A and B are shown apart, each in its own frame.
Chain A
Amino acid sequence: MHNRDNDKTTTFREKMAWVMVVGLMIAAGLYFYIVLNISASMDQVPKPVFAGLTVIFIVILTVFAIFGASVAALSNIGEADLPMDERDKLISLRATRLSSIATVVILIMTMTAYFFDARSSDMLLGIMAALIVGHLVDYITQIYLYRRGA
């Protein structure tokens, strides 16, 4: 091509994946730090505490996603509302495949823990971990594939 644009290759979707990785790490780090501390000092983590922390987790993540999407959209003007192209779809498909494996592995580990008399709060924690790790693997795989090309 004659008129080469600059080769800045960070797409809106890749930027969103970065935002979600950072958001998930912060929100999940806070969530597990508090839950594990409570879990160590009490026999069972009270259900209202779990519910409250889950709501806080979702709020932090939502705020991060909105703020991150705004910043990413401003730096990639006109790209945010574009539908996924074929490369985006391929990357999404590969990332989802890996993330589903991670989710299922942690879920099976959690289910196995049930047979070793795991507390119900630990089971809930395992399910949360499966969901969070699954999403982290999804976003990190997306970033890796976007960096690599596909």
Chain B
Amino acid sequence: MDNREELIAYIEELEKENKKLRRRTVRLERDVIMLSSLNDCALYLRDYNEEERSRSIIELAEAKEKAEHANKAKSNFLRSMSHEIRTPMNAIMGMDEMILKESREEETLKYASDIKTAGETLLSIINGILDLSKIESGKMEITDSEYELKDVVNHVLNMTRSKAFEKGLKYNVEVDDDTPAMFYGDELRLRQIMINLINNAIKYTEYGSVEVLISYDPQGGFLKIEVKDTGIGIRKEDAERLFKSFSRLKDSVERQIEGTGLGLNITKELAMLMGGDVTFESEYGKGSIFRAYVKHKALGDLKYKAARDLVPEPGPGDTEILFSAPAVRVLVVDDNDMNLDVIGALLKPTGIRVKEAASGMECIERLKKSGFDLVLLDQMMPGLNGDETLRMIREEHIADDTPIIALTADAVIGAREEYLKLGFADYLSKPVAYKDLETILMKHLPSELYTLTEVKKKEETKPKVLVVAPTTEELDAIRHIMGTNADGVFVKDEEKAEKYLSKHSVDYIVRRGDGK
């Protein structure tokens, strides 16, 4: 092949390549045109999408507003309904308390006691509904202050211990040695969380124990509460519904355990409001462990154990304190006659002179005419409500030095703070319990106006039973059977039984039936 042929072959090769390149160029150009058209379409879609997004945002906002409106309406309804229920409850429970105080007939006392138990249950349901409505409407506020852990523990123990003992459960509250004594956080909400979890554990445990462990995580700044029970436990399929409002598990319904299904929901919401949460683990049929943690700041170096050892453990004594204040004049303002009667009846044993007013205006008129040492002022009244009445009293300087206590049926968490902000000296929730009323009086009346007399408590009439059985399980079983019908003393061997009998007398002795 000469150079000329090589050149021709080379040119042919180039032409062939050129043809391919031109073809590819055409393809690329067509692809570009097609892509450009696609881009136009993409722009329409993008514009459409943006319009859709704007529309969605507006619709979302509208839906949110509607939902909020509906939620607000629901909260208002619950609040109003709870108020409506609380008002007659005040009369029922107040009168019932008077029967319990004054009656000497055993049967009447039993009926009154049953009314009290049922009333308290109903009240706790109403409180739960009110708390939830407040949480859902975003009005729940956390009020932090310094507090001592031992006060919380004592309060919680006092509120829960009797229920555990009534069921014959072993009940123990333990605080880890490294837990600080003082904290900064919302003490009231902490108490509520603990009481809810512990009461729940007691409620769902028929045999065995409820153990509470309190500890502190200094790194995260979390105060931790662990409540362990040997109760019915939670099925896996129920776990998701556990923290939902008004959702009750199949077991609790089947076993006819009272409740609204609000407690755990509120507990979790409260813990979350305090930067924490509530978690749980459970084995169905064996028990559950609930863990709550809240962000409460530890104050100082003093440990709980050291602080607790400084003061004696509170315990039930043989005596009670009687409050008496015959020189005191109290004005009770309420548009409901029965409520006025209840307060009057509750105050009767104290000797306090009670005057009544049925409206805000009447209250003002009475205060203008004569002085009172304390005013109990209802909130929801026709005409001037409590808040407006207080404002007029203060504006007109009618009773500048008189403590005015808000009386309200809207008892939700944080209510006290609200009333203090409005200028009330304190707050008393309906139904009014005598102990709460007495505490308010002692707190706001000058000490020279009342006396406290220590008197011996009315003797218990329950039989005292000595139980002797070799194992804890057997003792627990007998404790459970006895419930609150008798005062039991439980020992594992005869030696201890004899030792006890040498110093005390008992009505009955129960021994395991094996002849020992």
* Chains A and B are bound partners: no
Which residues of B pack against A, CB within 8 Å?
A: none
